[in-house]
Structures are given as structure tokens and as C-alpha cells.
Chains A and B, each alone.
Chain A
Amino acid sequence: MDDTNATPISTSDMQSSDVVNPHTKQKWAYSAIVKEHFFHPKNLLLEEPVEGQFDARGTVGSPACGDVMDIWIKVDKNSDRVTELKWKTFGCGSAIAATSMFSEMVTENGGAKIEDALKIKPQDIMERLGGLPNRKIHCSVLADKAFRKAVNNYFHATGQHSRVEVEGARVVDARMNITDKDIEEAVLEGAQTLEDVQKKLKVGVGDPESIPEIEQLIRFYSEKYYG
């Protein structure tokens, strides 16, 4: 608690950084764009929605975990475009800024087609924000996950069951019942090596045969979120 070290921002585009250490010239999070979206978040849902105002809703997280994201979407049925995306969050500065930016990216230019909106990656949000510290990527993934849930709920509600994308969890360490999703979560929390992940999950300790697969998953998710 008593050390709030800022981490250097991760992308090459640091033009917009507002905090520069005069001695080392090192630039620090948060960028001016992050600040704008943090202090003036776009597309917030401030009133309780009325019946039929939105087509679907997706919620992820829990207050115990430190972040909750709630997303509502409206879809134009003919064009399959997301015309509105509103949200609320119990989340940190990065979650607020990233979700605000994500809501703009999805709804700008008349709204993205669902399939295109689903292609927006956490790195794309980071890039538009001018960078966030690596350990904060976790916070922007929240918007992505809530949006996917909302879209799946929309597909169910409109009878398009074949379009629902299921993200199943697969057990990699049977003794500890740890899944690939747990590994993903650990990597998002900043674990980069098997040792880091084991510190968080105690994975593979009683089941050494699972270690090669765990290492592969760490590489896969590191590439996915930080590569």
C-alpha cells in the first residue's frame, strides 16, 4: 500500500504521456487520453434502463475481486451493427478509461458489425489509449469479457444459437483442478514465468506432468496479451 510505483507505459506511442520524469526522461502512465477517458468517461449508463431500451446485457467480475463490469448493448438487426453500448463499473482508473475507449471503438462510425467488434483486442484498446502499464491490461480485458457475454446473450435472445461463442475451461492440473482459464488469469495479473504462476496458483506442484502444458499456456497467453 505504501508504494504506488508507476510503471513505464508499454506501447511505443508515448507522445501523449502527461507525466515525464525530468531526470530520467522516462514517461509514465497515465497518458493524456487515458486521463480524458477516466475523468470524462463516454457512454456511461447513469439511469436505470427501461424495458426494451437495450437488446442484451453482460456482467462479469464480482466486488470481491475488485472489479465488476456491466455492459448493455443495442443491435441493429438488419445490419448486425452495435449501435449503442452503455456501461457501469466498480473498477479502477484503467478499467474506467479502457471501457470508455472500448465503448467508443464499438459504436463509432454508425457502430461496428458484431463480428468486427468481437475482433477488438485488449491491445487495440491500449493502442488507442496511448498505453497502459502492463499489469493494467487485466483491467481492459474486463470490458472485452462483459461485451462477449452481452453478445452471447443477444444471440440467445434472438434465436441465433449457432453464433454463440462458448469459451470452455479445460482442466490442466487435475490434482488442483486448475484450468487454462486460471492460467490466463494469472498471466493477466502479471505472471510471466512458471514460477510466477505457481506462486499464484500452486499449479503443477503435485502434478509435474502438467508442467509442459502449463508453460505452453503461459507462452500462449503472454503472446496474446503482451506480444
Chain B
Amino acid sequence: MLEYIKSYLGSNLTPGSAGNMLWAFVYIALIFLGLSVAVIAMNWLERKILAHMQVRLGPMRVGPHGLLQPVADALKLLLKEDIMPAEADKLVFWLAPLIVVLAAFAVFTVVPFGPTHAVTDMNIGILFMLGVSSLGVLGIVMAGWASNSHYPLIGALRSSAQMVSYEVAMGLAVVSAVLMTSMNAQGTGTLSMIGIVQAQQQQGVWFIFKFFPLGFMAMGIFAIAMVAETNRAPFDLPEAESELTAGFHTEYSGFRWSLFFLAEYSAMIAVSSIAVTLWLGGWLRPFPNLLGGPLWDLVFSLAPGLSFLALGAMAAFNTFRMPRHSFFRVQTVGLALFAVLLAMIGVLMLAPGVRERVQDIFWFCFKVAVFMYLYIWYRGTFPRYRFDQLMRVGWKVLLPAGLGVLILTAIVGVLV
């Protein structure tokens, strides 16, 4: 058994490409678990970060610093009465959240967390991701239609129009990154997610810095389009609270609603993963050119462990800042245990053998986390676009810009 695991870990193929079903399932289970944890963590972080931007504390009651708030929310949602409007189209109403969630989760089969850390390496990976992630809009339209109510209908219409228009600009930006992968001796590009990152490794440059500022502009276009694609502020028109109460999921409650929530956050993580893979070097560590050599490799491989230790230290620091009162005893102990847990993960990640394997995953998740922070930051800063302005930005600004960047990239690529 141990031999088997070791032999697998030694291989340099993804389980899907190696045809190893068992490991593929293990990966799927791990990704599903990790994604759920990420969504829970994101829920807490969004509330906390937004709260601190808005001079308030955010959740503080459930668990130390509200750490258990997402758990409490999840419990509440699961225990809520499952309401299906009498006038709703039952089957479609039931199906819509499932489609949204499926689309959001299915894209993670090709997300490369490391050179071998992906469920499979599809040769059309990026196409698959774009295709499947845009299926989510089907679920949203279905949800809006099946609710048989005006606000969800308007929300669904807005959402479909928005997602379809921004996909065009998004696609163009992606193509310009794919073009860059063909800048090698053979002139062979790739659509494989792993291949794209490896191309960046071989060319020794992240595509964001390639043909500066073309790569940067392409990523900028993608970064704007992806916010619109995931219906987040300032493009959150489909669920504009002040206009449409809750948009397409107004009539949903309890578990079904939580599926939409889950899908929204997984979609955010998914599109951020695309951006990270295409432009930010995926799992590659920062500064491979400037700070090369075995010594720097060692230093950077310590980063995952050290950052968990730092998180642990933060939790420990806050443990000492907890009020000295019997009322807070359970919370203080809980926070201390959390600090110990983080520190233990940190120590584990510092161990030789482990640190080489986890650093890919760490850097990938770190870069995705930066995008997640940006999402929260946008939400705290920007007002909401109006529908016509949103369409104008999509068709009249992003689309021409995307086309221009694509053409310039092609020209520069031929000339270089």
C-alpha cells in the first residue's frame, strides 16, 4: 500500500492522464473538500475584511472572532424550511441550483494546482473550463424562469445578457494568452492548463509580463470580465439587492439557496484559477529569474510553512488579547487550539519532503487568494453599474480592447 502511494507520488503525470481512476477519485474528493473549506473560509474572510473596511467588527459572537459563523450559517441554511413557490415550475426550480453547482465544480477537474496536482490534464483544458463555467448561466436562467416571479425573471435576464457579453471579451483575452504559449522553437501552442504553465516556465516569464504591456492588458481585460462573469460587485446587477431584492434567487431559500451561494464562490475561485494559470504562472513560485539558485529555492519552499506559522502566531496573539473573563473561556481555548492547529500545519509543511510537494499548491492558492481579496475590495469600494453601462463596458470597451490586444500579440509574436 505504502509502496503504491509512494510510486504514485513519484510519477509525473496527473491521475487522469495516467489513467488511474482511484487517484482521480481521491483528487476529486480532495478538491471537493478543499473547495468547500475554501468557500467557508471565504465567507468568513469576506465578512471580516469588508467589516474592517467599513469600520465595524463583523461577526464576533459565534466562536472566537466569529470563526464558527460560517458553520452556524450553514447549519441554519440546512435546517430551514424548504420552500418551493406554489406557482413555480417544480422540476426546473429543482434542477436549476444543481446545474449551477455542477457547472461551478466541474471546471475544477482541469485546474492545475501543481505539475501533477490536477484531476486530469486535458489537451483542451482552457476551452473546457470556459465552456463548462458558462453553463452556469443556464442554471441561473432556469432559476429565474422557474420562480415564476418578476424580480427573479429580471435578474435572470440581466444575468444571461451580462454573462454572454462578457464571455466574448474573456475569450479574446484568453486567446492572446494561448498565443503566447506558442512562442517556442517548434511554434506549438497548447490549450492544456498544465501546458500553459509549463510554457511560462520554459519561456522564463509569466505571461502578465510578456510583451509588456500586452500581457498585462490581456489580464486586465480578463480580470474585469471575470468579475462580471461571476456577478460580483460592481457588476452584481443580477442580484442587485437595492433594485431586485435578491435577483434570480429571490424565491430560493434554505439548502437550495446555499447551493447558489456555494456555486457563486466556487465560480469566483474557478475564474481566478484561470487568470492565475494563464498570466500569473500558475503554481510557479515568484521571482524564478531574479532570485534563482538552490538557496532561493529553499527559501521559497519554506514560505508555505512559514505563512501558516505566521497565521498561527496571529491566532496566538489574539488568544492573549481575549478578555480575561469566564464568559470567554471556551472561546479563548478554541482560539488557542486553532493557533496550535495552524502552527502544526505550518511545522508539517516545513518538513523536508513535504515542503517540496506542497509549495506548488501553496503558490497557486496564494495567487488565487489575492484575486479573492480583490473581489472583496471591489465590493467595498465600487457602486454598481447600470445595465446599459454594463453592456457598454462589455461591448464597446472590453471587446475592442481584447481584439486589439489579440491582434497586437499576434503581430508582436510573429515579429519577435
Q: Please say whether chains A and B are actual partners in one complex.
A: no
The chain B residues found within 8 Å of chain A, CB to CB, are none
